[in-house]
């Protein structure tokens, strides 16, 4: 099973279940990719696993029939509702899901209903859901998730136990990437910086090859002077532009830290300390601040879908002026 679940939260659910204190509805809140979905599934696994009693520290075995069925999305008592980003959760979908609430579970003790991004629920959908929240069935558990709790209807929120997911520290996240995902120490450090405490985000960044892109961006465009390629290759692609700007911001940030004498793990690019030192020596503090400012401006233009090529060219001139 996916190991991006939050162990502390899972532990709390296991303890509540043991004491017969599980509530009927929970709202998982926290930034995207922090592990809300994985934890919801892990809760389903821990409530259904046939072997969990074998050892105290394992919540589910991942091998028994219920575990395998949950993993492959085929468990008849675990229902998940997830709409595409930006789409609203309509009343029909909610009704279809909740029609199952009154039925007895097929193979589990409890039926589990998971609705992701509950902030997208329409008012009609919410009304259908409220009925279930007000008259819960003893053998059902409802888990709702959201990254924007302030947009969840108050009527829904107030009927759920809120479970906040808190981002990990950069250091803790890097350690976990090394330990659980066999990540190289430098890369883990770099990923942890950009992942903002979210393990899932770190894994996505890795899959998006940000690590590989990082070295190319530093070598070719920040240290190298491939002006034409910067405009043609980077500037023509929004994702690449974003990557370039993100890496450049982290590089300039590091340069400023190096200037104040920092040499340790506080640097995103700690593995390139020599190059950072040589690079920052070429600029005054004001010049570094200027590059930083124009890079932030370019990020803003990109968000607003405006053309950033001119600004990229200006940033290039600033980088390579000396």
Residues of this chain that bind Zn ion (CB under 5 A): 49, 51, 60-61, 64, 67
Between 64 and 223, whose beta carbon lies closer to Zn ion?
64
Rounded distance between C-alpha atoms, residue 299 and residue 305, angstroms: 10
Between 108 and 129, whose beta carbon lies closer to Zn ion?
108
Between 67 and 133, whose beta carbon lies closer to Zn ion?
67
Between 67 and 173, whose beta carbon lies closer to Zn ion?
67
State the minimum distance, in angstroms, from the CB of residue 67 to Zn ion: 3
Rounded distance between C-alpha atoms, residue 33 and residue 36, angstroms: 7
Name, in order, each residue with C-beta under 8 angstroms of 118's C-beta and a sequence gap of 6 or more: 27, 89, 144, 145, 146, 152, 156
Between 46 and 146, whose beta carbon lies closer to Zn ion?
46
State the minimum distance, in angstroms, from the CB of residue 112 to Zn ion: 15
State the minimum distance, in angstroms, from the CB of residue 18 to Zn ion: 17
State the minimum distance, in angstroms, from the CB of residue 88 to Zn ion: 35
Between 46 and 140, whose beta carbon lies closer to Zn ion?
46
State the minimum distance, in angstroms, from the CB of residue 20 to Zn ion: 21
State the minimum distance, in angstroms, from the CB of residue 111 to Zn ion: 18
DSSP code for 220: I
Between 54 and 150, whose beta carbon lies closer to Zn ion?
54
Rounded distance between C-alpha atoms, residue 111 and residue 129, angstroms: 16
Rounded distance between C-alpha atoms, residue 121 and residue 91, angstroms: 8
Rounded distance between C-alpha atoms, residue 235 and residue 255, angstroms: 24
H helix runs in the chain, sequence order: 7-18, 36-48, 65-71, 91-98, 123-134, 154-157, 170-181, 185-195, 199-207, 210-216, 227-229, 238-259, 273-281, 285-303, 309-320
State the minimum distance, in angstroms, from the CB of residue 15 to Zn ion: 19
Neighbouring C-beta atoms of residue 279, cutoff 10 Å: 21
- Structural tokens at position 210: 């940000």
């Amino acid at each position: 099973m996916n190991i991006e679940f939050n162990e502390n939260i899972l532990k709390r659910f296991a303890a509540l279940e043991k004491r017969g204190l599980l509530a009927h509805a929970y709202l998982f809140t926290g930034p995207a990719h922090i592990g809300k979905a994985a934890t919801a599934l892990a809760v389903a696994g821990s409530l259904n696993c046939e072997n969990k009693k074998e050892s105290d520290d394992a919540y589910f075995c991942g091998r028994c029939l219920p575990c395998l069925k949950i993993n492959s999305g085929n468990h008849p008592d675990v229902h998940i509702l997830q709409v595409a980003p930006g789409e609203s959760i309509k009343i029909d979908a909610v009704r279809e899901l909740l029609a199952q609430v009154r039925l007895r579970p097929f193979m589990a003790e409890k039926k589990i209903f998971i609705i992701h991004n509950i902030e997208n629920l329409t008012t009609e959908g919410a009304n259908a859901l409220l009925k279930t929240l007000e008259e819960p069935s003893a053998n059902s558990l409802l888990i709702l998730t959201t990254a924007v709790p302030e947009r969840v209807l108050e009527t829904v929120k107030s009927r759920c136990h809120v479970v906040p997911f808190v981002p990990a520290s950069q250091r803790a996240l890097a350690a976990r990437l090394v330990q659980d995902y066999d990540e190289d120490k430098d890369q883990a450090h770099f990923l942890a910086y950009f992942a903002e405490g979210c393990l899932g985000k770190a894994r996505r960044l890795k899959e998006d090859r940000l690590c590989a892109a990082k070295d190319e961006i530093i070598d070719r465009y920040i240290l190298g002077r491939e002006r034409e390629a910067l405009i043609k290759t980077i500037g023509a692609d929004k994702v690449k532009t974003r990557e370039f700007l993100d890496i450049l911001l982290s590089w300039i940030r590091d340069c400023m830290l190096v200037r104040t004498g920092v040499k340790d793990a506080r640097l995103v690019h700690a593995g390139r300390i020599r190059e950072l030192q040589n690079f920052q020596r070429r600029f005054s503090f004001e010049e570094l601040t200027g590059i930083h400012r124009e890079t932030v401006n370019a990020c803003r233009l990109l968000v607003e879908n405006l053309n950033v090529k001119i600004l990229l060219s200006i940033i290039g001139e600033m980088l390579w002026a000396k």
